[in-house]
Amino acid sequence: MADINVNLKSFEPFNGLKRGKLHLELSGKDCNLPFVNAIGRIATKRIPVYAYTKELIQIQKINPETGFHDSVPFNYDMIRNRIKNTPVAGIDPEISYLHERYWKNANYLDKKREKHENEKEVEANINIENRTDDILHVTTNDMLIYVNDKIEELYNKEYPFLIISLKPNEAFKCSLKAVVGIGLNDTCWDSAGNYWYDKNDGKIDFFIEGNLCYDEFKLISRSLEYFKLRTKLLKEEIKRQYSLDKEKKENFQVKIVDEDHTFGQIINYEIQSHKNIKKSSMSKPSLLVREIILDIIVSPDNAKSMIDFVMEAFDNLMNKIDVFEREYNKLLNPDKPKPKTKKN
């Protein structure tokens, strides 16, 4: 069994002004930096959340005959980018894995697009006219938000997010929708605002800040669920591709398509750590293409084939994830128990 320890150092829940922050102390000879980095990258880019995608932010042009006009300092693209990067607070998709058919090359303007069964209808409207002689700050307090046709308040009233500032006689009208996606598609779906770690005296201090959809305990739980599932899928795919190659040879190359350093680094680390592997190196030939190449060298006098060693490395990784998850689940959430989530 893997030697991994997980301890809770501190947890600061979201208070309306500052993002929540979870601090874990990780230790054990099997808790390495590539493993921890994979968890952080998954928590940032792979876990489904709601976001206001740019295509579904419709800003109406103000008719000057009404006595009001559009904002002069802010053009439509600037406003769309600000809204797009405003987190959709408090709506939980309740899933840890979103299949690519729901987000890859998705046309969000298509009303008949395929949606996950958990996805809710989230719509919002803003209609503000500045009838004062001062600057009027339009914030999330001015949004009328509907979740499945019911009015909801998602944002902290004391510390709202700024949308636009209007001069006298300026107006702003906008309708928008939030949909479920992941950060690989666009940063507006990043499921964590930030993560970082530091290693001291054999222990790793790991910090993560969420994006207001749900607390950081739940974010890490879903990241571990995704970690296990994706590792299993990659193992099965590599086994399917290379299982027929039983020739005992010294050099071997594994190509992992539709993947980046998130899994490339940790898989390469586990293969490097295998006692029968002489060398394993990882490369990403193109920054524009999600593809990882592993070049592996093994002693030719081994009884097993190369693919057997690779599968053993995957088994070691899955064992580490299981142990980490078991240790993590021993931690008590200060606010509420961790709910079960679905995978799809």
Q: Which of 33, 46, 26, 31 is nearest to 219 (CA)?
A: 46
pLDDT of residue 160: 96
pLDDT of residue 49: 98
For residues 266 and 36, give the distance between their C-alpha atoms in angstroms, rounded to a whole number. 9
Considering the domain 5-47+191-328 in this protein, what is its CATH number?
3.30.1360.10
290 touches 240 (CB < 8 A): no
95 touches 129 (CB < 8 A): no
Query: Which three-class secondary structure state does DSSP give residue 127?
Result: strand
Q: Which amino acid is at 189?
A: W
Query: Which three-class secondary structure state does DSSP give residue 15?
Result: coil
For residues 188 and 51, give the distance between their C-alpha atoms in angstroms, rounded to a whole number. 6
**How far is residue 126 from each of residues 50, 65, 143, 180, measured CA to CA in Å?**
19, 20, 5, 21
Q: Which of 230, 249, 339 is nearest to 299 (CA)?
A: 249
Neighbours of 89 (CB within 10 A): 18
For residues 161 and 142, give the distance between their C-alpha atoms in angstroms, rounded to a whole number. 10
Give the Cα-Cα-Cα angle 54, 58, 59 (nearest 5 degrees): 115
Query: What single string gives the DSSP state of each residue in 269-326?
Result: HHHHHSTTEEEEEEE-S-TTS-EEEEEEEE-TT-SS-HHHHHHHHHHHHHHHHHHHHH
For the chain, the first-to-last Cα distance in angstroms comes to: 29
One fold for 5-47+191-328 and 49-188: no
Q: What is the pLDDT along the chain (344 residues), one digit of tens a residue?
A: 899 999 999 999 998 888 999 999 999 999 999 999 999 999 999 999 999 999 999 999 999 999 999 998 889 999 999 999 999 999 999 999 999 999 999 999 999 999 999 999 999 999 999 999 999 999 999 999 999 999 999 999 999 999 999 999 999 999 999 999 999 999 999 999 999 999 998 899 999 999 999 999 999 999 999 999 999 999 999 999 887 766 666 788 899 999 999 999 999 999 999 988 989 999 999 988 999 999 999 876 665 778 888 999 999 999 999 999 999 999 854 445 444 445 55
Q: Which token pair is 21?
A: 């922050």
Domain boundaries, the chain: 5-47+191-328, 49-188
On the CB side of 11, how many CA atoms lie within 13 Å of its CA? 15
pLDDT of residue 16: 86
Secondary structure letter of residue 63 according to DSSP = P
pLDDT of residue 301: 64
pLDDT of residue 338: 47
Q: Where are the alpha helices (DSSP H) in the chain?
A: 33-45, 76-84, 216-242, 261-273, 306-328
CATH for the 49-188 domain, from 3.40.50.300, 3.30.2310.20, 3.40.640.10, 2.170.120.12: 2.170.120.12
pTM for this entry: 0.91
Residue holding tokens 């876990």?
47
pLDDT of residue 251: 83
